[in-house]
């Protein structure tokens, strides 16, 4: 049974104090493990403090990026071991903002996925098409290629199976979202591609949707068989809205 996952990606938002206030309010609402796993991915500067604040609670901690080397002269980078040391269990890899704005290649994404798995982190692998690719009818080809490249040569240890997030680039931060039907179709494709690439049953994979997802539309995305939760950007920055989103997603377990 696949347990839904609601993951907050704060991107470059929230100072140290803001993160702790958010965590305090979230813990008051989300006191017990519910039908969904809840994950917070703050900026690096808040990881250690937030890890201590949520320790022993149902809230999980993740990072927004990782480097592929274990240690060394790599100014500004952070290793899987450092993230685990802060309390992280998950890490986002290949977000479209890193692929686009930081020119992160499929090969770099692959190296980061391998580093995460080797370092006992669960990678959340992001895939998604641009508006130009969508208009050209290339959505399925683009996301399949991205996922295949991310998983190439990966040894996936038990207990650290990747999560895949379908985030159409044209929907992120735009206020526009894919239709629930489109998200379901892409999620089903990703499940098949994952089984082929990772040699792991596709029905074990958790697929998230991301891209202008909020409390008023999350239930629509999760009504099908293949979308297991969301990677949430802007709607995760206000604790009240994030709690409403979690509540809307509760009770939608996948078999």
Q: Out of 37, 97, 104, 167, which one is annotated catalytic?
A: 167
| Residues 94 and 125: beta-carbon distance below 8 Å | yes
The burial of 71, by beta-carbon neighbours within 10 Å (0-12 exposed, 13-18 middle, 19 or more buried), is given as exposed
| Residues 253 and 206: beta-carbon distance below 8 Å | no
For strand 163-166 and strand 122-127, is the pairing parallel, antiparallel, or unpaired? parallel
List C-alpha distances in Å: 9 to 95, 123, 197.
10, 14, 26
**Alpha-carbon distance 112 to 124, whole Å?**
11
Q: Which helix (H) or strand (E) holds 98?
A: helix 96-101
Q: Is 16 a catalytic residue?
A: no
* R_g of the chain, CA atoms, integer Å: 17
**176-179: long-range pairs with CB below 8 Å, 24+:** 176/211, 176/212, 177/211, 177/212, 177/213, 177/217, 178/209, 178/211
Q: Out of 95, 97, 129, 184, which one is annotated catalytic?
A: 95
**Alpha-carbon distance 38 to 123, whole Å?**
15
Q: Is 95 a catalytic residue?
A: yes
| Catalytic residue numbers, as ranges | 95, 167
């Amino acid at each position: 049974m696949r347990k839904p996952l609601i993951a907050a990606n704060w991107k470059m938002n929230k100072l140290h104090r803001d993160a702790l206030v958010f965590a305090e309010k979230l813990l008051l609402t989300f006191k017990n493990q519910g039908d969904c796993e809840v994950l917070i991915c703050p900026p690096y500067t808040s990881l250690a403090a937030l890890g201590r604040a949520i320790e022993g609670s149902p809230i999980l901690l993740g990072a927004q990026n990782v480097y592929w080397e274990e240690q060394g002269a790599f100014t500004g980078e952070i290793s899987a071991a450092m993230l685990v040391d802060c309390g992280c269990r998950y890490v986002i890899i290949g977000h479209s903002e890193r692929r686009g704005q930081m020119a992160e290649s499929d090969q770099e994404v692959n190296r980061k996925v391998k580093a995460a798995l080797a370092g006992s982190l669960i990678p959340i692998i992001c895939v998604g098409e641009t508006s130009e690719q969508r208009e050209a009818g290339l959505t399925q080809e683009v996301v399949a290629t991205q996922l295949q490249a991310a998983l190439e040569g990966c040894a996936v240890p038990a207990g650290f199976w990747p999560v895949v997030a379908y985030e159409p680039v044209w929907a992120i931060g735009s206020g526009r979202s894919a239709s629930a039907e489109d998200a379901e179709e892409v999620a089903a494709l990703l499940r098949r591609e994952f089984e082929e690439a990772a040699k792991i049953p596709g029905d074990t994979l958790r697929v998230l949707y991301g891209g202008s997802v909020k409390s008023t539309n999350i239930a629509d995305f999760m009504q099908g068989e293949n979308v297991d939760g969301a990677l949430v950007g802007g709607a995760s920055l206000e604790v009240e809205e994030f709690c409403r989103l979690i509540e809307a997603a509760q009770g939608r377990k996948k078999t």
